[in-house]
Amino acid sequence: MDFALSHELVELKERTERFVREQILPYENDDKQTVHGPSEELRRELVGLGRAAGLLSPHVGQEWGGLGLDHRAKAVVFEAAGYSPLGPVALNCFAPDEANMHMLEAVAEQHQKEEWLRRLAAGEIRSCFMMTEPAPGAGADPSMLQTTARRDGADFVIDGTKWLITGAVGATLAIIMAKNDSDALGPAGATMFLSPMNAPGIHIERVLDTLDRFMAGGHAVVRLEGLRLPESAVLGRVGAGFRYAQVRLAPARLTHCMRWLGAARRAHDIAADYARRRTAFGKPIGEHEGVGFMLADNEMDIHQSRLVIWHAAWVLDRGERGTHESSMAKVICSEAIWRVVDRSMQILGGLGITDDTIVARLFREVRPFRIYDGPSEVHRWSIARRVLRAGMTF
């Protein structure tokens, strides 16, 4: 693995960093920021800035309007974008749209890409991914899927309840996971469907009040009742939904790590600057070991996280599935990033619990990262199973 960055990638990284610092940071206290994420008006304004800067949709192929970056380059650019929670919004590489675009590019038919991917890559519309369900449905265990898709003539009729559906409010497209019986188009299993959000049968029941507040559209409870979709709405093949979920989820876990690493670096920078300026007991607090050691631990956690991300990205760029590597990255990074932000708050003292800096908000944002896209415990269980299956090597 070569750690060197090309001249072009260094230039893109620096351009992204300047863009975020100069144009995006001033929007963090904009009154169009709501308790359920940036309003659609603010999102479009930010996307317009990203488009003007030539930074829109870095993860999407150039054919569809993006920059066509590989996973390694995304790791560099997404970290730079994540320095502000609104940076990924401006670059149109925020969750869940970024992962949805990746999956559409990999799986969708040409006509589906023209209808949905091109508009998503242009930032014209948003999307949501409907897999998670309330108990006893699918959560960390997707096999517990309760939502059904039954055949009715030439159509499929979908019924079920989804929850914690990020971005459902204001989305134009829904990617829906439902279990199906054996069908002429494929075996029994799970199938993904593409549906307009304004289709009869999709009902947003409420938006949940959650700890995090930077996800556009918030997190909703959605009821699917008699949602009728044609065969042309099937994404990929009938019965292959769980396989496509892995196409989406392994890279998505990693891009979450990339973006939140930028946020951790932001919190660390704020804490380090404060530790240089704030004095106590006759000298800057950073010169006291209690604070200095926290800064050192932050630096090591950030460095370790970046190396883990780059390695997993390298594995994906080699054409490997990267399931094991992305699971390890998800656990290592989500917990390290949480520690960095927590320490940064501690260094700031009373200032850290106020909104006079962004650290308190980042504290609220990064804590859920240890849960979504697979809790740390589930990833550890999955990693352990692979270790046990591997057997002895001596």
Query: Within a domain: residue 248?
Result: yes
152 and 263 fall within a common domain: no
Tell me which of 90, 121, 152 is where a domain ends. Answer: 121
Continuous segment of H or E residues that includes residue 14: helix 7-19
Residue 152's pLDDT is 97
Considering the entire predicted model, what is its pTM? 0.96
% of the chain surpassing 70 pLDDT: 99
pLDDT for the residue numbered 392: 62
- 231's enclosing H/E stretch is none
Closest by alpha carbon to 285, among 353, 350, 339?
350
What mean pLDDT do residues 260-269 have? Answer: 98
State the residue for tokens 């560099």: 76
- Is 302 contained in some domain? yes
- Provide mean pLDDT across the span 85-101: 97
**Residue 1 pLDDT:** 84
Q: What is the Cα–Cα distance from 221 to 163, expressed in whole angstroms?
A: 4
Question: Cα angle at 15 between 248 and 85, to 5 degrees?
Answer: 50
pLDDT at 289: 97
298-308 pLDDT, tens digit per residue, is: 999 999 999 99
Query: Do 143 and 215 belong to one domain?
Result: yes
Cα separation, 133 vs 298, whole angstroms: 36
Q: Is residue 251 part of a domain?
A: yes
Are both 271 and 360 inside the same structural domain? yes
Of 188, 207, 239, which residue sits at a domain end? 239
pLDDT tens digits, 214-258: 899 999 999 999 999 999 999 999 999 999 998 888 899 999 999
The verdict on 359 and 261 lying in the same domain is yes
The range of the structural domain enclosing residue 202 comes to: 127-239
What average pLDDT does the chain have?
96
Q: To the nearest whole percent, how much of the chain has pLDDT over 90?
A: 95
Which tokens go with 68? 């066509």
| Mean pLDDT, range 81-105, rounded to an integer | 97
Could you read off the pLDDT of 14-72 as tens digits, one per residue?
999 999 999 999 999 999 999 999 999 999 999 999 999 999 999 999 999 999 999 99
DSSP states of 48-109 = HHHHHTT-S-TTS-GGGTS----HHHHHHHHHHHTTSTTHHHHTT--TTHHHHHHHHHHH--
CATH code, domain with 204: 2.40.110.10
Q: Return the SS3 of 32.
A: coil
Its sign, for the CA torsion 1, 262, 89, 27, is negative
Shared domain for 253 and 379, answered yes or no, is: yes
Give the CA distances from residue 49 to residues 24, 98, 185, 336, in Å, rounded to whole numbers and listed in that order: 9, 18, 43, 31
